[in-house]
Amino acid sequence: MSFDEAEVLRRRAEAFLRNAARLLDEGEADLAMFSLEQYCQLILKYKLLVRKGSYPRSQSLRRLIRELGELDPRIMILVQDTRNLHYIARLEEAYVASRCLPVGYEVFEVRDIYRFVLEVFKPLVETI
């Protein structure tokens, strides 16, 4: 593991989270949703890199969560609780939809997902 690589992942993740907030304020729901997914993906990869020394070359949040769950089972609540899984699945969809599908998001729904990321996902991941 390279300390520099880990720091790049962490800094980029935090930048995507800040970008999501800015984009929401500007009414750019689609790009805000993509930025939220990127934050989640990169912060999970950061945690895996720091804890395990590597991370899978996967964009699946569920796979990254399960892999991190092998090291700390507390994070598994994100995929074992149906309310949390709903948000994780929506974030995962955003990665594909933003690149390949003509799917749009409403500002109010992205604000709800942003709230989930700030109040549930981020605090949980930070404890690991």
- Sorted by where each starts, the structural domains of the chain and their CATH numbers stand as 3-126 (1.20.120.330)
Q: Do residues 20 and 39 lie in contact, with contact meaning Cβ atoms separated by under 8 Å? A: yes
pLDDT confidence of residue 42: 96
Residue 25 pLDDT exceeds 80: yes
pLDDT confidence of residue 27: 94
Average pLDDT (76-83) is 96
d(CA 120, CA 122): 6
pLDDT confidence of residue 99: 65
pLDDT tens-digit map of 107-121: 999 999 999 999 999
Report CA-CA distances (Å) from 97 to 34, 86, 100, 103.
9, 16, 5, 6
Residue 2 pLDDT exceeds 80: no
Average pLDDT (39-66) is 93
CB-count burial class (<10 Å; 0-12, 13-18, 19+) for 30:
middle
pLDDT confidence of residue 38: 96
Considering only residues 27 and 101, tell me which one the structure prediction assigns the higher pLDDT.
27
Residue 98 pLDDT exceeds 80: no
pLDDT confidence of residue 119: 97
